[in-house]
Amino acid sequence: MGMDGVDVLFVAHTNNDYDHMLPVIVGLINKNVSCDIIGVFNKYEVLKNRVHSYITKDNNFNFFSMSEFFYFSFFNRLFVYFFKHHFNRGSISYKFIVLFSFLFYNDKKLSQLLEGKGYKVIIVDHRYIDIDMVKENRFKCFLDSPVGLSIFRFLLLARKLGIPILMIPHGVQPVVIVDSDKRQVDGELFSPDFIFHSGMFEVMSNKYGHDGIFCDKRFFLGCPRFEKKWIDYLYGLLDVVHPGFIKPKNKLVILYLMDIFVKDRDGMDDDVLSVVDYFDDVELWVSHHPRRQKCLSLDNVKNKECVKQFFIDVDGNILIKNCDICISTLAGIFVQAVLTGKKCIFYDKWKQWMPRVTIFDDYVYKANDRKSLYAVIEQFKNDIVVVDDGMIDLFNDKVFDDGNRDSVERYVSRIQEIINV
């Protein structure tokens, strides 16, 4: 712990970026490095996941909300109300509430927080200022990305006070972005002082095409969220956090991990849902991405009772641990299913209209239409194909360069070096 205050401030804006910060926070605290967490815009939005909430309370983290630093406390109460009642983050009403709150941020209060605590580094997930975004209408950009711009306002304030900024991965990015999709970073307007990466594949899969110009202090340290010791720790909490969670007997449980990468879905969700009508012994669990909390329509499904949909409060770990087969079109958490040896199907039908290279291409079983999806499931059911441990090791080494062992320890060591300079 720093002599003059708190060593590290983490800036979290959703439960899935907090998910990747948690192993680092726990690792730092175990090394007597003091940490605070600030939620953008409110901690209730970040802590909707029951496992994350349990870890935060069990470890007595000091977690507060950016909305506490509005000029008027009324806006903070408004945020608490909306976030506690699962307000839709993507709605127009939400964005206007964010807009008004942004106008009422009290920079003086935030400065007093940063100076009073004496933070030695601020940690946030990877984010960059898009040159095209800067050139466009600022008001429109705010409505398109209110959280991102609010975080940058906070980081720029910290920069004026001389506090270093460290960016860490928001999970493993699973798809390589082609040159035509890449966008330019305004490194002069904002660049981090330090940046951590999971591996080189992450660099290739970032839409801004990192070239190292905007930050020359880069470190490739793996991904703490997918370190085996951390996954085992999470699995050990599940019976406490989700008591009574029961896997159905005499059913083959297929988990569908939803993603936000593939925008044009062209019937893929219906293809996956149809497995409960094709197979008479299947129960399908749909795990919705934290940023897309919307029920899938079951209008085309006959056996609707065989589909269960899970949202942000239910941790994905309990679903992965208890499923028999895991399907995804491109979800980041699919990495965990592969690394833990689950029978995985990469449903890449979307490549027919959007060809891209992904981290899953050579390391899991694939299907690209409804017929081939059924066929792979049938093979898994009959144990015709098995999960190859050697392929899992190759996947681990490819995604994380030199494997993903001791990532938490490597992150903690580097952060200790930064704060002790």
Phi, psi for 151 (deg, rounded to 5)? -65, -40
Q: Tell me the pLDDT tens digit for each residue of 142-165.
A: 556 667 777 888 888 899 999 999
pLDDT, position 6: 92
CA distance 255 to 317: 11
244-399: CATH topology: Rossmann fold (3.40.50)
Task: From 38, 42, 72, 18, select the one nearest 154 (Cα to Cα).
Answer: 38
pLDDT in tens, 166-206: 999 887 778 877 666 666 666 666 788 999 988 877 776 66
Query: Count H helices, E strands: the chain?
Result: 18, 13
pLDDT of residue 88: 54
Structure tokens at 87: 């307000």
Q: Are 354 and 268 in contact (CB under 8 A)?
A: no
Burial 315-331 (b: 16+ CB within 10 A, else e): bbbbbbbbbbbbbbbbb
Cβ–Cβ contacts within 10 Å for residue 392, how many? 16
pLDDT at residue 76, rounded to an integer: 59
Taking the C-alpha atoms of residue 369 and residue 398, their distance in angstroms, rounded to an integer, is 27
Q: Are 2 and 36 in contact (CB under 8 A)?
A: no
What is the model's pLDDT at position 369?
95
pLDDT at 212: 46
H or E element that contains 343:
strand 343-347
Q: Parallel, antiparallel, or unpaired for β 8-12 and 121-125?
A: parallel
> CA-CA distance, 358 to 373, in Å (whole number)?
19
Containing 362, the helix (H) or strand (E) segment is none
Architecture, CATH, for domain 8-227+404-419? 3-Layer(aba) Sandwich (3.40)
pLDDT tens by residue, the chain, 421 residues: 444 579 999 999 877 789 999 999 999 999 999 999 998 877 877 888 999 999 999 999 999 888 777 766 666 566 666 655 555 555 555 555 555 555 566 778 888 889 999 999 999 998 876 666 666 655 566 556 667 777 888 888 899 999 999 999 887 778 877 666 666 666 666 788 999 988 877 776 665 455 544 677 889 898 999 999 999 999 999 989 998 888 998 999 999 999 988 876 789 999 999 999 999 999 999 999 887 888 999 999 999 999 999 998 999 999 999 999 999 999 889 999 999 999 999 999 999 998 888 989 988 999 999 999 999 999 999 888 778 888 888 888 878 876 677 899 999 999 999 998 6
Amino acid at 383: D
Domain range summary for the chain, segments of one domain joined by +: 8-227+404-419, 244-399
Residue type, 61: F
* pLDDT at residue 1, as a whole number: 44
What was the pLDDT predicted at 2? 42
pLDDT at 183: 62
Do the domains spanning 8-227+404-419 and 244-399 agree at the CATH topology level?
Answer: yes
Residue 237 has φ and ψ, to the nearest 5°, of -90, -15
Q: Are 139 and 168 in contact (CB under 8 A)?
A: no
Looking at residue 358, what DSSP letter applies? B
Q: What is the DSSP letter of 347?
A: E
